[in-house]
Amino acid sequence: MHDVFLPSAAEKGNPVATNGAFSVQLGIGGMPTVLGKLLARSGLHDLGMHTELCSDAYLDLYEAGVLTNRRCTLHRGQGMLGIVLGSKRLYDWVDDNPGVIA
């Protein structure tokens, strides 16, 4: 299992991103998971999902209202993925979800 990375107090003031009109591609492992959680609490909105591997980090973003795919120019309102790897909750979210193209 990977150690959990938590940013220092000084790093917390540095934005990861400044605009919600972009798509995210996260991988698997400790760092992408933490990055997903930080983005979920960032105040950003309307992020899109275009990824090869969909992990629980995307579900965190969706549940926080951050991942909407509203501003995607290709398949607006739908996230795109190739592989799903994660919890049963993640598989349940992806299964028959019209907002996800696999």
Hey, what are 13's tokens?
């003031």
How far apart, in whole angstroms, are the C-alpha atoms of residue 96 and residue 22? 25
**Catalytic residue positions?**
52
Confirm if 66 and 36 have CB atoms less than 8 A apart. no
